[in-house]
Structure 1
Amino acid sequence: MADWVLIPCLKALFAEFDRIAPGRDRASDGSIGDAAHRRTVSDHNPDETGSVPIHDADRVNEVHAIDVDNNLRESDLTMEKVVQFLLGRCRSGAERRLRYIIYNRRIWSASSGWVQKRYTGASAHTEHAHFSASYTSSLEASTASWHLEDIPVALTAADKAWITSTIAAQTRAAIDARLGEIAKEVLIDYRVPGTQTPDAPSYQRNLADVTADVWAMTMRGNTRGGDPVPANGVFGQILEDLAELQAKVDALKQ
């Protein structure tokens, strides 16, 4: 039984680190232990072929610990924030999959109620954080969210620019939609009293109808309202008036 696998819950934790910090350094990432770990009892050892503190119920050769490089390469997201966030969830009972965390010369464990203690092991764990997980079958198999995306961080300039542009676009869309509603209310829904036509005496026209009448009077010389206008339309009447005026000017020149 030489092959080994990392338990699913820690695979999910690795994946969440990659999502919240896609450009993070992975130089100190790890799961299965090296030769030094194999000579000791460690969660980094496979639980069927190595020395481990607990044996779970299955016969799968699993590793129950990971190391995650502390350089997340995010402006306001640090490993310290991640560790403290997970500790808060563990202390509240919201998270039960972890057994202990080691980071920067400190250790917190479920067995001690997640109280911070000094860590004096061979590695100070300053370059990575260590996460050991449960050997309980249901917990080690759980790939439920670790909720790392809920860690509060300050907005970057790019974040602020995106939020500003998004709000501006949504505001413009909302204004355009409201203006469209207002235009419909004014031009279509509002009916103008006294605009009934002979062919529809009970129909009050809207502003769109009345505006269309103005266009029709100017260009065609008739309206749906039946009002008398010059036979050639208003534009034609203007031309006639200009011709008459020109004729009077010409008469004065004689």
Structure 2
Amino acid sequence: MISKTKKTPFSGHQDALEPVASEFAEAGRMDDVDAFNETFESDPRGDQFPDPKTLTDWRVANALLVLRDQVDAAYPSRNKTSDGTIGDEAHCPGPSDHCPNIIDDGIGVVAALDLTHDPASGCDMQVLTRAIAGSRDPRIKYIIYNREICSSYEYEGQPPWTWRPYFGSNPHTRHAHFSVLADADLYDDEAPWDIGLTSSIGGASA
């Protein structure tokens, strides 16, 4: 089981379980936070986002912690420089899934995870993003990597699970971004992810 340890009040870019090195550390650089803002019609939040300073606690969606743990187990020497979860106070509140916009029993839930592209260690985000998108995992909202985005929903005539150009200010060449849907049965689903491995490592499926 994944720990549901929470942080008290909003504390920058620290992870729910441990501090991580993150591109978010340089406050004021909008490129450090995924400013992706497509309209997602099934998102119940609309245009209103909670101020993180008003939250007693926040945490990362358990499904994303499972994904990170699998990747860590598969690539124990991987670089984590561009890993990240929660955005800093310069960028939250706002529409990014890096902000704790989902309120679950009074706790803010961060529904986004960045994982560093580090092919030297074997942790190749081109492979991992295609594997997860190809599995059509029902937890995924969208994935961004290397100037492309793949969403689980139709967008401007593009069918679900189709890779298309991404024009956000951050090209996502140093890391991949994973967002999960705002449904507790999905964002806290601790089932293993298909991360493109041929054998089961750290719970990864073939």
Whether the 8 Å CA contact 1:29–1:69 is kept in 2: the answer is yes
| CA RMSD, 1 decimal | 1.9
* 1:34 alignment partner, one of 88, 92, 107: 88
Change (3 A) 1:56 1:110: farther
Q: 2:187 aligns with which of 126, 140, 145?
A: 140
2:142 to 100, 103, 109: 100
More strand by proportion, 1 or 2?
2
Alignment of 1:181-220 (within 5 A): none
SS of alignment partner, residue 68 of structure 2: helix
Structure 1 residues 30, 86: closer, same or farther in 2, change over 3 A? same
Match 1:88 to one of 134, 138, 143: 134
* Distance in 2 between residues matched to 1:18 and 1:129, nearest whole Å: 15
Report the equivalent of 2:113: 66
Which letter does structure 2 place at the counterpart of 1:3? D
Corresponding position of 2:72: 18
Q: 1:116 deviation in Å?
A: 1.1
The structure, 1 or 2, with the larger RCO (C-alpha pairs under 8 Å, 6+ apart) is 2
| Aligned residue number for residue 153 of structure 2 | 111
Partner Cα separation in structure 1 for residue 104 and residue 57 of structure 2: 18
The CA distance in 2 between the partners of 1:140 and 1:132, in whole Å, is 9
Give yes or no for contact 1:21–1:72 (8 Å, CA) kept in 2: no
Superposition deviation, residue 139 in structure 1: 0.8
Tell me, which stretches of 5 or more residues in structure 2 are unaligned? 1-54, 155-159, 200-206
In the TM superposition, residue 142 of structure 1 has moved relative to its aligned partner by 0.9
Q: Which has the larger radius of gyration?
A: 1
The number of equivalent residue pairs is 140
Q: Give the partner amino acid of 2:147.
A: R
Q: Which amino acid aligns with 2:87?
A: G
Q: Which secondary structure does the structure 2 equivalent of 1:111 belong to?
A: coil
User: Which AA in structure 1 matches 2:59?
Assistant: V
3-state SS of the aligned residue for 2:142?
A: strand
Matches of 1:139 and 1:86 in 2, distance apart? 15
Q: Relative to total residues, which structure has the larger helix share, 1 or 2?
A: 1
Give me the whole-angstrom Cα distance separating, in 1, the residues matched to 2:96 and 2:89.
Answer: 11
Whole-angstrom distance in 2 between the partners of 1:40 and 1:122? 16
Unmatched tracts of structure 1, length 5 or more: 48-54, 154-254
